[in-house]
Structure 1
């Protein structure tokens, strides 16, 4: 393996990239557009959930409860309805995700025993939104219930010391504000790098076939290993630029806290780039059509990284069989690493298992990619 031949191949690939505006557009613009679109568009936080209210009593107490819903950042009262048919219409049209119905004897029950009930009608077409909305609604009602209980005890002449509550003191580590953005955006970097890296390198060898330059390439003394390294070297440099841009946007634009070391992030990102670029190169060798290689690269990178890497959906909540399948998804390990570096500031020793798995993956992909190329035209 000679450095001179590797350098020549790298220079040739740089010229190919420079002369192909599509590759430059994918390499430079796609990461920025995806980072902003997905960074703002993907969130697990639910706020200002539209609700309908049906106050069948219209008393001061019932209005106090509804004011708590109106003042909450999680709810927004879209309609004050006057009957169940209007609730059905609101839920059917999607104007409301939740309906709160206060019974006509709400105040009377509170006065007698400090116990009353409120009906919550949920749109269950989106079960996740329904469950979260119900949890938020229960929190609002419980807050109101505690205030009513204290007032009832005071009217009964009972002392608060008679109540012995169990108190839970909670403390949140790593994501103190419980912002889903801090959980989602570090994994988004892996999604973008996987997509862009594989898309770019999936065109390297297939481009030679389509442009008719493979005969010249085969006639040169360059070895398959030298060809692979020379072809991938410019894309690793582009990958560093894209990764640095995405990580800077995550930290300084979206405000995701970064607590790890730059060296750990650089080393693991480089390892991940080797994997995704190697996959793209391997597909380019096996599939001689640029369109075909690009489409397959999109399939084997975007779907597994989005669905099975833990980027959005927690792996430990998946079925057991799917959890085992995720061990074959290379991006799972990088998502674990980048989230731990951003939010926990984990050391390389603490991340030794995912780093080792990523290293094994990178080695296997590079060996397969180097052996897949044959200096023959058949």
Structure 2
């Protein structure tokens, strides 16, 4: 492989990226926009749920229970009413996601141990409903425990079980700690597959690729020269996104920067080779975009464990996820950021990324050689 020819191709590709506004936006502006958008706007921690309260008891005990709901941080009381039809209206109009209904004889029921509180939720929003059930159970359990302690003067006949949960690696259960490492993988997938396939496919459309083929340069030299600028951009984007995640969103990083660089390089080689393969097959920007979306972005978003746990997917989909490079890279990123995992725990994921990088590179080079012939 002639290094002079490789550097010449790399320099040409770099100048082309600099002159193309769309390429610059895809390379730098889009990744940073995504990480800020996901970091600030998207969260799996459901809080400030709008609630309507119907307190038909209006006693000290009922008001105390309502205070526990509003002070929890999970619910925001938007209205208090004694009209059942008003509760129905607010739920139907989606102005309230939950209604807390306390019956008239709530205080007497507390004394006899038969107190009931009705929780009405908007089941159309299943995710919020599941959170509401968990939050209300927690609040009412705490209220029950305090009521028992007051009733027995701080002495209960049976000691309650004291549950002490410990959340390793993410003590506050902050969803940003979960999302940001996965988002880095998604950003590098977009850069490596989408940007690479579009820019190289454009050369096929313009006919400049045929001019390159007619020169003495070999398919391998052409591939290396073409992909080198995108690799450098990818590494820059990686550390920019990691810095934003750590400095702005306060995502902890407990691992090794060298391991981050090593595994990111393997993943970048895999997605870059995949993007190069797509451009060779497609030869048009429209088709390259569609293929990148179907083979890289959507699988990387849906089947990599970025948002949805793979263990909850159907068995067949779990099998398919094994051929998604992003699955292994996300495991690496979360291991490095949150757990401080070392090579002894991540070598299998690294081996998988290496196999993907080699396989896609061989396929892309072979397909390009067949195209020339």
Q: TM-score, normalised on structure 1?
A: 0.95
Residue range with higher mean Cα deviation, 254-263 or 42-51:
42-51
**Corresponding residue number in structure 2 for 1:54:** 54
Shift of 1:359: 0.8
Q: Quick check: 1:369 aligned with 2:364?
A: yes
Distance 2:105 2:36 in 1: 51
Please list, as runs of the form range in 1=range in 2, the aligned pairs for 1:132-281 lying within 5 A after superposition. 132-154=131-153, 160=155, 162-281=157-276
Distance 1:194 1:215 in 2: 27
Shift of 1:161: 5.9
Distance 2:35 2:109 in 1: 53
Distance 1:96 1:315 in 2: 32
Q: Name segments (4+ residues, structure 1) moved above 3 Å.
A: 374-378
Shift of 1:376: 5.9
Task: Indicate how the Cα distance of structure 1 residues 329 and 376 shifts in structure 2: closer, same or farther if over 3 A, else same.
Answer: closer
Task: Indicate how the Cα distance of structure 1 residues 143 and 161 shifts in structure 2: closer, same or farther if over 3 A, else same.
Answer: closer
Q: Deviations over 1:265-320 (max 9, x none)?
A: 00001111111111111111111112221232123222111111111111112222
Whether the 8 Å contact between 1:310 and 1:335 is mirrored in structure 2 is: yes
Whether the 8 Å contact between 2:69 and 2:139 is mirrored in structure 1 is: yes
Aligned residues: 373
Please list, as runs of the form range in 1=range in 2, the aligned pairs for 1:1-378 lying within 5 A after superposition. 1-111=1-111, 113-154=112-153, 160=155, 162-374=157-369
Distance 2:251 2:349 in 1: 22
Shift of 1:377: 6.5
Distance 2:211 2:48 in 1: 63
Distance 1:375 1:115 in 2: 78
**CA RMSD in angstroms, aligned pairs only:** 1.6
Q: Deviations over 1:132-185 (max 9, x none)?
A: 11111111111111121122223xxxx826323323333221111111111111
Shift of 1:22: 1.3
Distance 1:326 1:238 in 2: 27
Whether the 8 Å contact between 1:114 and 1:149 is mirrored in structure 2 is: no
Whether the 8 Å contact between 2:23 and 2:199 is mirrored in structure 1 is: no
Distance 2:120 2:325 in 1: 43
Structure 1 SS opposite 2:82: coil
Task: Indicate how the Cα distance of structure 1 residues 205 and 150 shifts in structure 2: closer, same or farther if over 3 A, else same.
Answer: closer
Structure 1 SS opposite 2:295: helix
Distance 2:315 2:206 in 1: 47
Q: Deviations over 1:342-362 (max 9, x none)?
A: 000000110011111111111
Whether the 8 Å contact between 2:62 and 2:102 is mirrored in structure 1 is: yes
Q: TM-score, normalised on structure 2?
A: 0.96
Structure 2 SS opposite 1:169: coil
Structure 2 stretches lacking a partner, 5+ long: none
Whether the 8 Å contact between 1:56 and 1:101 is mirrored in structure 2 is: yes
Distance 1:304 1:278 in 2: 17
Distance 1:90 1:215 in 2: 65
Shift of 1:15: 1.9
Distance 1:317 1:214 in 2: 45
Structure 2 SS opposite 1:137: helix
Whether the 8 Å contact between 2:148 and 2:156 is mirrored in structure 1 is: no
Distance 1:261 1:342 in 2: 9
Shift of 1:204: 4.0
